[in-house]
């Protein structure tokens, strides 16, 4: 018997490889598939089936690529939103691989086609070993219910609640929980920061079990999670099983500073260094997207056709950066700066700077700053923020900056705030690109501000509600 969870850093994504008697099933693979193939090969497993729990919204899947490389059959529920499946299971129909049996359980709500798969062992056929829940049921949380139509958030929340109680709960408290995402995913809200759970444990702490149906629905209506612009494209690509990686990391050209300076005029520069380094000096007009942040925010800034140029601390980071972007469908990476920012600096190329400010420094000179908080709606309103802070989520700050332009004097000093400083660094770079030059990143963010017991307030004053769902909840 073989079981392994394969995590994707940055995306908080989980794929699973389950095997018995040399036959294996791979569940929800990402676009870059080599890790899965290597794992199967090293454990003498042949991938017989690729199971999809749903289309996935936050990354390009690798089902088609795995099938082409291994001959595996793609398995899904018999639903119109799985347009590429080789085997289409009816609700409660089963599939066998070795001594493992997988039962399809249609569990809509997160998306219409969402499906969970209960897994049974040959020796214990009447009790589920585990359940692959996709984005229906997470550890400590459930999937968001606003994706397919924000106007039907209430309806979808009720559908999800019913699906969990009617299809998953009867599997029994012993059942292990294997969701497609963990803490940090944009596919759910307050997902627990642990990888292991059972249905029995979830009954004691997961809102879908601890709240009644009405209270659960109301909680989902209050749940406001930003929707990245690449979600719709991921869904379209994944309808056909995804696409192979277009450009491998070793195929990205290393460009010397002078050539880099000439070519970046046709695209955008993503600087993967930490925000402190970016503030100290960077290429004019570049975006500050720390390395781990590329797995999400790279897709806010670029699409499949945007020419992208990378600045990294080390070429050892190139594979991480390129694959993080590729998983979001960002393929047009034209080059990386050879020698990193030091090479740019030493070549005498133009430099730009953005400032930093410490929490006590900001508190002592509060009247000299406009504060812009770029965390999400829930963080700003419920976790507390600096009094009189303006608010706009970082992902929307470039497109929707005009919605708060009357509150942002271009001549004023603006302190940008997030939880610790990474998202604020990105927002500061966006502000500079839009003509706000006196911008400072609050290093340590609200984490440091709170630890120092500096004053905070709660509520929605000066908050710009997430644009894609404003006024659309029903």
Tens-of-pLDDT digits for all 474 residues of the chain?
Answer: 999 999 998 899 999 999 999 999 999 999 999 999 999 999 999 999 999 999 999 999 999 999 999 999 999 999 999 988 999 999 999 999 999 999 999 999 999 999 999 999 999 999 999 999 999 999 999 999 999 899 999 999 999 999 999 999 999 999 999 999 999 999 998 899 999 999 999 999 999 999 999 999 999 999 988 999 999 899 899 988 999 998 889 999 999 999 999 999 999 999 999 999 999 999 999 999 999 999 999 999 999 999 999 999 999 999 999 999 999 999 999 999 999 999 999 999 999 999 999 999 999 999 999 999 999 998 999 999 999 999 999 999 888 877 666 667 778 899 999 999 999 999 999 999 999 989 999 999 999 999 999 999 998 766 655 554 444 444
Helices (H) and strands (E) in the chain, counts: 16, 23
- Asked if 146 and 217 touch (Cβ cutoff 8 Å), the reply is no
Res 210: pLDDT:
98
Alpha-carbon span 467 to 117, nearest angstrom:
35
* Residues sharing a CB contact under 8 Å with residue 192, sequence separation 6 or more, in sequence order: 138, 139, 140, 141, 183, 205
Which residue, chain included where needed, has tokens 């030059």?
437
Counting every residue, how long is the chain? Answer: 474
Which residue, chain included where needed, has tokens 């953005």?
354
- Asked if 227 and 296 touch (Cβ cutoff 8 Å), the reply is no
Which residue, chain included where needed, has tokens 């050879």?
338
Phi-psi region of 184 (alpha: psi -120 to 50; beta: other; left: phi over 0): left
Domains and CATH numbers, the chain: 2-238 (3.60.15.10), 249-346 (3.40.250.10), 355-451 (3.40.250.10)
pTM: 0.93
- Asked if 76 and 89 touch (Cβ cutoff 8 Å), the reply is yes
The single-letter DSSP state of residue 98 is T
Q: How many CB atoms are located within 10 Å of the residue 241 CB?
A: 25
Alpha-carbon span 424 to 148, nearest angstrom:
29
Res 471: pLDDT:
41
What is the biggest distance separating any 2 CA atoms in the chain, rounded to whole angstroms?
Answer: 72
- Asked if 15 and 59 touch (Cβ cutoff 8 Å), the reply is no
Alpha-carbon span 121 to 383, nearest angstrom:
44
* Cα–Cα nearest to 261, from 245, 285, 277, 281: 285
Res 460: pLDDT:
75
């Amino acid at each position: 018997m073989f079981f392994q969870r394969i995590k994707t850093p940055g995306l908080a994504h989980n794929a699973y490889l389950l095997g018995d008697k040399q036959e294996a099933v791979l569940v929800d693979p990402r676009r870059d598939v080599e890790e899965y193939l290597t794992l199967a090969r090293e454990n003498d497993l042949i991938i017989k089936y690729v199971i999809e729990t749903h289309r996935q919204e936050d990354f390009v899947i690798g089902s088609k690529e795995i099938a082409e490389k291994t001959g595996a059959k793609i398995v899904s529920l018999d639903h119109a939103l799985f347009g590429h499946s080789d085997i289409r299971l009816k609700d409660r129909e089963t599939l066998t691989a070795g001594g493992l049996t997988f039962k399809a359980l249609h569990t809509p709500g997160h998306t219409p086609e969402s499906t969970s798969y209960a897994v049974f062992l040959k020796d214990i056929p009447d009790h589920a070993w585990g359940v692959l829940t996709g984005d229906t049921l997470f550890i400590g949380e459930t999937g968001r219910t606003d994706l397919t139509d924000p106007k039907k958030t209430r309806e979808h929340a009720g559908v999800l609640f019913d699906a969990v109680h009617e299809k998953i709960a009867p599997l029994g408290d012993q059942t292990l929980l294997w969701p497609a995402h963990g803490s940090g995913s944009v596919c759910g809200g307050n997902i627990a920061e642990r990888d292991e759970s059972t249905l029995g444990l979830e009954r004691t702490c997961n809102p879908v079990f601890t709240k009644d149906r009405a209270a659960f629905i109301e909680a989902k209506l209050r749940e406001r999670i930003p929707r990245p612009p690449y979600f719709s494209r991921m869904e379209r690509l994944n309808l056909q099983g995804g696409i192979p990686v277009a450009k491998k990391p070793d195929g990205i050209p290393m460009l010397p500073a002078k050539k880099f300076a000439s070519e970046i005029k046709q695209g955008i520069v993503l600087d993967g260094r930490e925000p402190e380094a970016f503030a100290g000096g960077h290429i004019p007009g570049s975006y500050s997207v720390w390395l781990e942040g590329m797995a999400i925010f790279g897709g806010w800034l670029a699409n499949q056709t945007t020419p992208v140029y990378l600045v990294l601390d080390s070429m050892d980071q190139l594979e991480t950066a390129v694959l993080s972007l590729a998983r979001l469908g960002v393929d047009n990476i034209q080059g990386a700066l050879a020698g990193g920012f030091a090479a740019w600096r030493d070549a005498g190329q133009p430099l730009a700077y953005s400032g930093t400010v410490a929490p006590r420094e900001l508190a002592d000179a509060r009247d000299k700053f406009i504060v812009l908080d770029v965390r999400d709606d829930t963080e700003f309103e419920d976790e507390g923020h600096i009094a009189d802070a303006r608010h706009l989520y970082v992902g929307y700050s470039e497109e929707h900056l005009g919605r708060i332009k009357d509150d942002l004097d271009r001549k004023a000093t603006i302190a940008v705030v997030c939880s610790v400083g990474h998202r604020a660094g990105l927002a500061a770079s966006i502000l500079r690109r839009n003509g706000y030059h006196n911008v400072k990143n609050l290093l340590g963010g609200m984490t440091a501000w709170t630890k120092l017991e500096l004053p905070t307030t709660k509520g929605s004053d000066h908050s710009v509600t997430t644009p894609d769902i404003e006024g659309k909840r029903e």
